[in-house]
Structure 1
Amino acid sequence: MTPTDPALQRALDRERAHHDHCTTVFAAMVDGAQEHVVTGEDVSASGADAEVLGYRLRSRAEELRELPEGPLFFGRLDFAAGEDPERALHIGRLRITEHPAAPPLVVDWRAPVSRAFYQATAEDPRGVAVRRRFGWAPGGRGAPGDLTGLEDEHLGRGESRASDIVAREIERPRVGPMRDIAATIQPEQDDLVRAGLTTTVCVQGAPGTGKTAVGLHRAAYLLYTHPRRIRRGGLLILGPHPAFLSYIAEVLPALGETGVRQSTLAREIARHPVTRTDGAHTAAVKHDARTAEVLRRALYARVDPEAAGPLAVPDGSYRWRVPAEALARIVADVRAEEPPYTVGRERVRARIVRYVQDSAERRAGPRTDAWVRRVERARPIGAHLDAVWPRVRPEEVVARLLTDSGALARAADGLLDAEEQEALLRTDRVPRSWKSARWSAADLVLLDEVAGLLEHPEGYGHIVVDEAQDLSPMECRAVARRSAFGSLTVLGDLAQGTTPWAARSWPDTLAHLGRPDAAVVPLTTGFRVPQAVVALANRLLERLDVDVPAARSLRGDGELAIRPAGPGRLTGVVVDAVRAALAREGSVAVVAADPDAPRLRDALAAAGIPAAGPGEPDARVAVVPASVVKGLEYDHVVAVEPAAIAEAEGPDGRGLHRLYVVLTRAVSRLDVVHARPLPF
């Protein structure tokens, strides 16, 4: 069909009319949801019922109100030949129906019946006769004129074709935050999105393969498919830095899901502000998995079964005696059970009380609950507990370990060598107590580990971990504690690991996450990074010390330019490259080594080109330090002085990995500006 084809025009008119009807019905759904909030609170059987019902109704009304404006459907399935609208299902971002019992006008993309839209092929049509895709004007709000085209794939006739609409959507300029990909999900992505609630999935995704989008859409799918279980446990999205969270913030609301916590691991474990910086070697030791055992030893070294003698518990004028041997045995038995430290302390208290109760009942018969509670609060039992199983804060354990060489030596014996122990000991002013201690970012990981030994943290039903290759073993343990009774979606690319402790194999990382048996699924087909950029990145990939398959791209439309700069001309060439990029559509990012970013921003401002930072996704031009560009995408990237980007990580860093990240942020065009020899 062509745009002038009368049959196409008639089909477009019918679809536009259907969308107008859906828009009217959706507006009524929003109004009806608000009316239910008002009436629902008056029909409940009790105040508690009213509160629960009101919360649910208000949440539903809020979700509908917050859905961003835009097209209400992007696809259609005909399960019988022909154009009979009664036999068609329109696929969109949420279900739209005139009445709960009426057939839906639009089916949610997550519904089981919608899966055929993503999975049906000419070889396996899954009962689909025609798959229709709709083309909408970029940025449109769902007005009739925004529906600009459609294309049909007659699977029932064995017809198979590449979708021009999908290609245009993927290649659309990327100004602003990340968009959802519900209309363009590929079959291999769909398999991951619809993985079961209890399944932990690890995605090794090459640049541009949509692994972040897969994780976010899986979160939306789980919220739709298991709403009660997920909302009861909670769902957490963990990103690498705040700029990344700003970039992805609108994806889940666009899919009709609100109230999902999106955070960084640093925020989740932040018990104190970071006010000091560790050296590279010190930070590496703190992030090492062996340090977890050092901390466990340091904590449980405070438990001493022999620290108190026999116990006398007052009961009126009588004293119940508990021999020292019995007390030591109770403490030793509880210690052997390895409960959380705080639980163990209370378990010791309960068993001492039970010992006293047994003695009392043998002498005078059953005791009342009030009597048991009185004995539990007896001062001698509290004093005994403080001696054999003292209360403790995480800060006390970590502060002592980092300032007391003797305590550290005992806890680290056989685990850390003398040099590693010396790296942990603080050389600056030793605080008088933990209350005046200053903490580094790595110290917060240690504090979280000890807090997890004291008592289990509140967990989540599901956690999506993006850029997981950069997590240290100790950070993985922090995530594992928060998903002990849930599942994970682990997203990353070993080639993009840039921290000193970045993973070199997924099995190791998954073991630290508590999911050693999770499947690792590779995504190697790039839908966003052009072929020319992927080819350049693959040249660099050969020099990285990771075993990952080379990426390939389905896009041949991108551009790559290498721009040498003569002496003193680097900044001028960057300005010229940005000016040329602004003549085209899309976002522009100047990415440079962190120390160079302020100078380049000033140079652009002097040339009359205002540039924002990485935390402003709507900006047309941004200057982005290389250390925070991970996970972001721009239409046009100007990569400045690759040699400086690689060297900024230090002689023992992962500078080439950082450069690999920088080179793969462009989704249309990449300019490489350099005055020094290129590292690839």
Structure 2
Amino acid sequence: MKQAELNPPLQAEAPPADAEMEEIVAQEEKVLARVHRTARSRRPASRGQLIDYDAELIALRDQIGEARLEDIPPLVEEMERLQQVAQRRAKVTEGAVDRSSPYFGRMILEEEGRKREILIGRSTFLDPKTGVRIVDWRDAPVSRVYYRCEEGDDYDEIFGDREVEGEVLLRRNLSITTGKLRRIGTPQGTFRRSRDDFWRRMADMSTKLSGGQGAAMRPESHHRPGQLGIGDEELREDKHLSEITALIDPRQFELISQPTSGLVVIQGGAGSGKTTIGLHRLAYLAFQDPLRFRSDQMLVIVFNDALVRYISRVLPALGVSDMRVQTFQRWAEQQRRRHLPKLTTRYVEDTPTHVVRMKKHPAMLRAIDDYVADLTARIEQEILEEAKRGEGGALVTRTWRGTAAEPLGVRLDVLSQWLQDRDGNAQQVEIGIRHAVGRICQRWSSRTKDVVTAWADLVTDRQRLVDTFARWAPDALSDKQIEWAHSWCSRHSIRVLTAYEDAIEEDDESPTRSVGVDGLEEDEPAELDREDDALLLRLFQTLRGPLSGRRAALAYEHIFVDEAQDMSTHAFALLRAVIPEERPDDLFIVGDGHQRIYRKRVVLS
């Protein structure tokens, strides 16, 4: 006898009868069937010949650059109009729908005695004949009602140029995957189709987005692309991004959809929806203003490589492709290599804990500021003393002090160029003073460009380190720990500085090393600590100016920082400095202070 006959498969036991659940399931299955029929019978139709708005905007920009002054206002007005139209029509093709997951929310609204059904999805699909109305959650004004209101609530919203009042008669969130209804969330309860194809009523509060501390699926356990965990191991097969979008609460939706975020810091335990908010915020911005929030103009910074892989797989499911997702460590290394190409590319594998704590501590940002301030005071003293010696010295002083808000190296370059301008008011300054101040600028300019020497000076100045920590963080490190850290920095920085100077002199990416008869290097290798990258880049910004991109200054329109609790203050200073000045601090930061690895308290304090 066969084994299968000895052990016949167990038949799944049907759940007890539930009339309310059966009625709700039947209603939603009927709606989904109508959507599927409509989608099959109607081919996607575009809205006629599409206008290349990018080309139109570029042409207008060129016209403004060449136009007469009186012609500029109407051109600017036309450019603003085109931008608004482009934003509304970007990526919207009426008639397109994802048949495998066409929508994730359903509402029935009543306005002035008239009822209408609205489905909330990730694209727009309208068919007046069958009454199917799917609207994009990122764009349609009516989606605000879905996220802000519960079933039975009255609403008062502005749709276009008219004010609309009504009542939400029905509001449900749904999960539809591979074209099949999987879960229904209603005020009456949550119902789920199990693997045996039976519908069951789930326990109350089992599918909240804010699952609570410890409830979220961690990135290390992530095994499928396009999914996010929101709690309950048994239900993870069902937690697709479309469902998570359906479970966003009113406060989260406000954070996601506000026109500009500025500096936002969100704290919460694992499973509280922090990362979800940040990722949906990226998707919302990219959809609303695709010209400004291009993938190459936004940056996602995460704590480890597991999160890099996880988020890189999740973002495409939200309609965001080719987004740069990196650990801060990797981003800082790339920037440091670009801006200081002759510096060693090797890192210490086992940096002592007290060295890491010292270099990542917020007090080091104070130490950098104090170092640059001392350098600035010395330069200013020399310039002002020379300016006092003759006629026109007041002009020199005024020009120098007029750039006080700029990085030190930029200030020296501006003053030097002003002195050499033969058509400017620098000609009113006595020639001897001009030459003397010019020599001061030239001498100190080379010093400010030497960021590596400045870094070595900073981390090996024991008295400065002791004074800085005594003033700003007296309990952070003991004198003995500072002494140990100083000793480590002194040994390693001299090797790094020597190798750097040799590389510059030889003008070779791979400087000659001393090699023994056994083929091994005789000299100890020059190695950086990972924490040095942030210090070097911050010194670069304060001494030489903004970090550079491929064509201009490095700048991002929006930065999302996840798991931020262990990032250093100077790391955040670096990131804030690569946001355009007209939109300062457009950072979206999330983290959990209870998961902090290092004892220091940073931005989440």
SS at match of 1:250: helix
Q: Measure the CA separation in 2 of the matches of 1:222 and 1:413.
A: 45
Q: In 2, Cα distance between the equivalents of 1:286 and 1:67?
A: 52
Q: For residue 294 of structure 1, report the CA deviation from its aligned partner.
A: 2.3
- Please name the residue that 2:591 is paired with: 492
Taking structure 1 as the reference length, what is the TM-score of the superposition?
Answer: 0.55
Deviation of 1:247 after TM superposition, in Å, equals 1.0
Question: Matched residues in 2 for 1:243 and 1:472: separation?
Answer: 20
Aligned to 1:509: 603
In 2, distance between residues paired with 1:43 and 1:450?
Answer: 38
8 Å contact from structure 2 (residues 106, 120) kept in 1: yes
- Alignment-mate amino acid for residue 485 of structure 2: A
Assess if the C-alpha contact under 8 Å between 2:93 and 2:124 holds in 1.
no
Please tell me the root mean square deviation across aligned C-alpha atoms, in Å.
4.9
CA distance in 1, matches of 2:360, 2:274: 26
Letter in 2 for 1:434: Y
Task: Provide closer, same or farther for how the CA distance between residues 236 and 119 of structure 1 changes in structure 2, counting only shifts above 3 A.
Answer: same
Contact 2:367 2:465 in 1 (8 A): yes
2:569 matched to 1:473? yes
Residue aligning to 2:321: 258
Given the superposition, is the C-alpha separation of residues 212 and 10 from structure 1 closer, same or farther in structure 2, using an over 3 Å criterion? closer
Give secondary structure in 1 for the equivalent of 2:189: coil
Letter in 1 for 2:174: F
Residues 200, 487 of structure 1: 8 Å contact kept: yes
Distance (whole Å) between structure 2 residues aligned to residue 293 and residue 479 of structure 1: 17
Structure 2: distance between partners of 1:6 and 1:114: 26
Residue 216 of structure 1, CA deviation:
1.0
Native 8 Å contact 1:76 1:131 kept in 2 = yes
- Deviation for aligned residue 1:17: 3.0
CA distance in 1, matches of 2:317, 2:293: 19
**Residue 105 of structure 1: which of 127, 133, 149 is its match?**
133
| d(CA) in 2 for partners of 1:284, 1:342 | 30
Partner of 1:333: 401
- For residue 164 of structure 1, give the secondary structure of its aligned residue in structure 2: strand
- The reply on whether 1:426 has 2:490 as its aligned counterpart is yes
Counterparts of residues 237-256 of structure 1 (less than 5 Å):
237-256=300-319
- CA distance in structure 2 between the aligned counterparts of 1:40 and 1:25, rounded to whole angstroms: 30
1:147 aligns with 2:174: no
Q: Matched residues in 1 for 2:36 and 2:530: separation?
A: 52
**Contact 2:107–2:171 (CA<8 Å) still a contact in 1?**
yes
CA distance in 2, matches of 1:410, 1:323: 41
Contact 2:92 2:124 in 1 (8 A): no
Report matched runs for 1:193-592 at 5 Å.
193-231=256-294, 234-270=297-333, 271-272=336-337, 273-276=345-348, 277-299=350-372, 301-303=374-376, 304-305=379-380, 329=397, 333=401, 337-353=404-420, 357-358=424-425, 360=427, 383-390=439-446, 391-402=448-459, 405=460, 408-409=461-462, 411-412=464-465, 414-416=467-469, 419=480, 420=482, 423-424=485-486, 425-428=489-492, 430-431=494-495, 432=498, 434-435=500-501, 437-453=526-542, 454-457=544-547, 458-483=554-579, 485-501=584-600, 503=601, 509=603
CA spacing shift, 1:327–1:360, aligned 2, 3 Å: closer
Q: Distance in 2 between matches of 1:355 and 1:233?
A: 42
Distance 1:289 1:133, change over 3 A: closer
* Counterpart residue number, 2:191: 164
Task: Show the counterpart of 1:371.
Answer: none
Task: Write out per-residue CA displacement over residues 372-428 of structure 1, whole angstroms, 9 at most, x where no aligned residue.
Answer: xxx9xx9987644222443413223113434xx5xx257547314665265233224
Residues in 1 aligned to 2:189 and 2:268: alpha-carbon distance in whole angstroms = 23
CA distance in 1, matches of 2:246, 2:565: 28
SS of corresponding position for 1:451:
helix
Residue number in structure 1 paired with 2:518: none
2:175 is the alignment partner of 1:128:
no
TM-score by length of 2: 0.61
CA shift, 1:191, in A, is 3.8
Tell me: CA distance 1:39–1:339, structure 2 relative to 1, closer, same or farther (3 Å).
Answer: closer
Structure 1 residues 149 and 286, CA gap change in structure 2 (3 angstroms)? closer
Provide closer, same or farther for how the CA distance between residues 446 and 421 of structure 1 changes in structure 2, counting only shifts above 3 A.
farther
**Alpha-carbon spacing, 1:385–1:168, altered in 2? closer, same or farther (3 Å):** closer
Secondary structure, aligned partner of 1:490: strand
Match of 1:19 in 2: 36
- 2:416 & 2:597 partners in 1: Cα distance? 48
* Matched residue, 1:522: none
CA deviations over 1:449-491 (Å, ceiling 9, x no partner): 1122131343433222111112222323223323461422221
CA-to-aligned-CA distance 1:159-189 (integer Å, 9 cap, x gap): x323335957979997413332112223443
User: Counterparts of 2:313 and 2:126 in 1: how far apart (Å)?
Assistant: 25
Task: Return the alpha-carbon distance in structure 1 between the equivalents of residues 435 and 321 of structure 2.
Answer: 50
Q: Structure 1 unaligned runs (5+)?
A: 154-159, 313-320, 364-374, 512-680
* Aligned mates of 2:585, 2:538 — CA distance in 1: 19
Q: Does the 8 Å contact 2:409/2:545 carry over to 1?
A: yes
In structure 2, the partner of 1:76 is: 106
Query: Pick from 137, 140, 145: which aligns with 1:116?
Result: 145
Matched residue SS, 1:105: strand
The match for 2:224 among 153, 160, 176 is 176
Amino acid at match of 2:356: A
Instruction: Tell me which residue corresponds to 2:121.
Output: 92
Question: Shift in Å at residue 71 of structure 1?
Answer: 0.6
Paired AA for residue 80 in structure 1: E
The share of aligned pairs that are identical, in percent, is 21
The aligned amino acid for 2:354 is: H
Structure 1 residues 10, 446: closer, same or farther in 2, change over 3 A? closer
Mapped to 1, the partners of 2:441 and 2:119 lie a distance apart of 66
Matching residue's letter, 1:21? T
Question: What one-letter code is carried by the residue in structure 1 that aligns with 2:104?
Answer: F
Q: The residue matched to 1:414 in structure 2 has which SS? A: helix
1:6–1:439 distance in 2 versus 1, CA, 3 Å: closer
Residue aligned with 1:206, SS: coil
Q: 1:421 to 1:113 in 2, by over 3 A?
A: farther
* Compared CA separation, residues 456 and 26, structure 1 to 2 (3 A): farther
Contact residue 492 and residue 527 of structure 2 kept, 8 A: no
Q: In the alignment, is the contact (CA less than 8 A) between 1:311 and 1:324 conserved in 2? A: no
- Where in structure 2 are there 5+ consecutive unaligned residues? 1-17, 64-78, 156-166, 193-204, 229-240, 338-344, 471-478, 504-525, 548-553
The structural deviation recorded for 1:103 is 10
SS of 1:427's partner is helix
What's the offset of the Cα at 1:279?
1.4
For the structure 1 residues 97 and 62, does the alpha-carbon distance in structure 2 shift closer, same or farther, using more than 3 Å as the test? closer
Give the secondary structure class of the aligned counterpart of 1:339. coil
Q: Distance in 1 between matches of 2:355 and 2:58?
A: 60
Task: State the Cα distance separating 1:446 from its structure 2 match.
Answer: 0.6
Distance change >3 Å, CA 411–CA 332, structure 1 → 2: farther
Paired with 1:40 and 1:325, the residues of 2 have a C-alpha distance of 51
Shift of the 284–231 alpha-carbon distance from structure 1 to 2, 3 Å rule, reads same
Counterpart code for 2:490: R
1:233–1:461 contact (8 Å) kept in structure 2: no
How has the CA–CA distance of structure 1 residues 7 and 193 changed in structure 2, closer, same or farther, with 3 Å as cutoff?
A: closer
Say which SS state the counterpart of residue 574 (structure 2) adopts: helix
**Residue deviations 1:309-332, cap 9 Å, x none?**
9999xxxxxxxx977966974686
